[in-house]
Amino acid sequence: MLKRVSKKARRSRVFKRVFLSILIIFPFVMASLGFYIFMIIRELPDVHSLKDYRPSITTRIYGENDRVIDEFFLEDRRLIAIAKLPKYVTNAFVAAEDSRFFQHKGIDFQGMLRAFVKNLEHGAIVQGGSTITQQVAKSFYLSSERTMGRKFREIILAYRINKNLKKYEILNLYLNQIYLGHGTYGIEAASYCYFGKSAAELHLAEAAMLAGLPKAPSRYSPFVSMEKAAQRQAYVLTRMVEEGYITESQKEAASKARIRLNTSGPKGKVAPYFTENVRRYILSNYGSDILYKEGLEVYTTLNADLQRAANAAVDRGLRELEAREGYRATLKRIPKNRIDAFLKELDSQAGGKPFEKGQTAKAVVEDVSPEQKLVFLRLGTSLRAMAEMEEEQKQDRAEPAGARQPSITVRVGDVVNVKITEKNNQVEARYRVAIQPRNVVQAALVCMDARTGEIKAMVGGRDFSSSEFNRATQARRQPGSAFKPLIYTAAFDKGLTPATVMVDEPLSFPDPYRGEWRPQNADRKFGGPTSLRSAVIHSRNIITIKVLQQIGVDYAADYAANMGITSPITRNLSLALGTSGVTVQEMARAFGVLANEGRRVEPFFIRKIVDRTGNVFEHHEPKVEQVIDPKIAFLTTSILQEAVQRGTGYKAKIAGRPVAGKTGTTDDQKDAWFVGYTPSLVTAVWVGFDDSKPLGRGEMGGVAAAPIWAYFMEKALAGKPVENFEVPPGIVVTRIDPKTGRPAGLLSDGVNEFFLEGTGPGNQHKNESSGFWGSFRQEP
């Protein structure tokens, strides 16, 4: 018979087995845990390196007046020493993030418990348990993963940091490292972003608002929601009172203080195509680490005022062109039941950031007033905008008779591109915008100091945010008749004169592709005997071809290269019609030789580059070389002045200002050009579509490009002394018969013409080269 075991005995037996198992397993568990802790501690970095804090800091690009025009960074950070900050700035962050910072040793178990209780009371996370020291440890050494191992590392590192660094050193690291929204790192960058000033200038209300951001920068950003930002600010001020940093009256005053946000919001860019040139140059010459981490100070040649004038001139000229041609605006139409969903998509694309002035964005038409005078739009679920169609048509400059008015029309539900023109605090529209046409015609502009080569303004396209392709430096487009002055300058250096007469008549050449090439003038007419001066002024193609035949294609091509055309040059008679692709910057450089009395300059955009220690990486000075005779340059300039006064470039006239320039148009109006200059500034303008679609009937260089040039140069020259093109020694004036180029008789209608001394009509040397350029020309 089996003996029955009591329940008590069974329990005792089980307990003994469990106890023995624990005794056996426990040493192994402790050994494993100890080994794990040992490995973690051994792998932790040395915190002594924090004493030599060298963060990635922003590279700043400065314009001509040494004001910042752009910045490049991996992290938008500006360093500021904690000693420069008002005491209430650091106290605001301590009160909000780690009230026992000055008492604990890097880890605050009391604070963790308090945060747990507070969060339990509110039913949400209103306080964090990490100390400022722990946040520094995590920021510098750890990932953001949420694991027990990472937390354990954070605690050990925080203890070590507290042991090796003074409290003010830890705060200095924290305030320069912390992320505060809209791409800004550190309190100095954030202060400039939100308030447009240094953190050293913050008042208490602003400091409290910034101190409220670390918890959730995107949620509490005043750019996104001033209401939520103010709520968080109130919390920070309350904590400062509780910790004894400020009084109740100071809190009340700060709560009522008006917050003036930076009107530009997150940074706008005045010259994105120009500064992208700078970025690429530094990247290719010094590498990405130097560019994005070493905080270079790059001093450029850009004049911010001229750049703004260039931006405005291009925008105005293109809008006028689009008005004449009636380009459509609507991208697509959204059914009413889909508009809300589409607006949420727009919110997602914007990423919670406010729109900048000049930025292009998509919008949905919400309402249209009678006669399309006002259009109300939505940029997102809570962002409204208004476009005043009549206001967009107003111009500062009188329009020619019969000018067509904008025919852009929209309906409710239309999706359109808009350009932000200004913020509007009125309830009905947060932004004022300009509706953009669907067919995006492009333009490029380069303004260069003719004497030094400094690039003063550059527009590379309609909208950098839509296309970073720089049409001023990267696009090779046919210049059309804008190339002719280079050929005629070569001809004058070969012995021809402005008074030389050739017959404007039909020409025919064998063509292997078309069988026969019959070039035409733009008006399809022939003018008979024509002086070279008249041929340039009225842009006669036939005469230019004859000139090119006489001086030789290779001679003309080499001459153009000597004047600054670096693109490969077409070496056949079509060169006379400007069929060889060039960049806008090259054309500015070549015409600059004419403006600068035969001296060629090297275009440059960087004056000097300095690193964070003050070491100068490189320094640029103007490179000037005399490449053609000043007298030859003057002959062409005298003609180009007349081309503006009574020729194809008449729309580039500026009252009271001597200017010279030439229009250019290619077949079917695919490209429109105007390149012009004064003695000190040369500016080239191109207009066209990227895919070389025709601009429209009648959109010649004098109509599409010359007005942009004039709009810009009027602003660029405003308030500057009037400059005249000086007649150089060795130029003589002779009265001639313009129909024959011979000396005017007593009874004939004569005109004054410029000649090189010794080459006037009837002189035996009139067909000989002046010989000047020959000494500079490099024969193959």
Give the whole-angstrom CA distance, residue 11 versus residue 450.
Answer: 102
Nearest CA among 223, 220, 219, 195 for reference residue 207 = 195
Nearest CA among 454, 684, 714 for reference residue 590 = 684
Adjacent-strand bridge partners of 57: 294
CA 146 to each of CA 36, 115, 139, 319, 531: distance values in angstroms, whole numbers, following the listed order: 18, 18, 14, 53, 83
Does residue 207 contact residue 170 with C-beta atoms inside 8 Å? no
Give the whole-angstrom CA distance, residue 476 versus residue 177.
Answer: 45
Could you tell me the two tokens for 624? 């000037």
Nearest CA among 475, 510, 331, 289 for reference residue 416 = 331
Could you tell me the two tokens for 83? 């000693």
Give the whole-angstrom CA distance, residue 317 versus residue 309.
Answer: 12
Nearest CA among 189, 164, 178 for reference residue 92 = 178
**Torsion (CA) 141, 147, 153, 159 in degrees, nearest 10:** 100
Does residue 593 contact residue 563 with C-beta atoms inside 8 Å? yes
**What is the number of other CB atoms lying within 10 angstroms of the CB of residue 65?**
10
Residue type, 285: N
Cβ-Cβ contacts under 8 Å for 228 (sequence gap 6 or more): 219, 220
Give the whole-angstrom CA distance, residue 371 versus residue 104.
Answer: 70
Could you tell me the two tokens for 21? 């198992």
Q: How far is C-alpha 677 from the chain's CA centre?
A: 25
Report phi then psi at 686, rounded to 5. -125, 145
Give the whole-angstrom CA distance, residue 361 versus residue 418.
Answer: 5
Strands, E, within 574-710: which ranges?
599-601, 606-610, 616-619, 624-626, 660-665, 671-677, 681-688
Could you tell me the two tokens for 331? 């991208």
**What is the number of other CB atoms lying within 10 angstroms of the CB of residue 374?**
17
Could you tell me the two tokens for 727? 């007649």
**Torsion (CA) 770, 775, 778, 780 in degrees, nearest 10:** 70
Which position has the token pair 């329940």? 7
Does residue 586 contact residue 521 with C-beta atoms inside 8 Å? no
Does residue 90 contact residue 247 with C-beta atoms inside 8 Å? no
Active-site residue, selected from the candidate residues 64, 97, 154, 325: 97
Q: Catalytic residue at 97?
A: yes
Q: Write out the DSSP string of 168-217.
A: HHHHHHHHHH-B-STTEESHHHHHHHHHSS-GGG--HHHHHHHHTSTT-H
Could you tell me the two tokens for 330? 């609507």
- End-to-end, the C-alpha distance of the chain in Å comes to 124
Does residue 189 contact residue 78 with C-beta atoms inside 8 Å? yes
Active-site residue, selected from the candidate residues 99, 130, 221, 481: 481
Strands, E, within 400-489: which ranges?
414-423, 431-436, 442-449, 455-459
**What is the number of other CB atoms lying within 10 angstroms of the CB of residue 765?**
12
Give the whole-angstrom CA distance, residue 534 versus residue 539.
Answer: 8
What is the 8-class DSSP label of residue 516?
A: E
- Helix, strand, or coil (residue 421): strand
Give the whole-angstrom CA distance, residue 299 versus residue 402.
Answer: 47
Nearest CA among 768, 295, 156 for reference residue 494 = 768
Q: What positions carry a catalytic annotation?
A: 97, 481
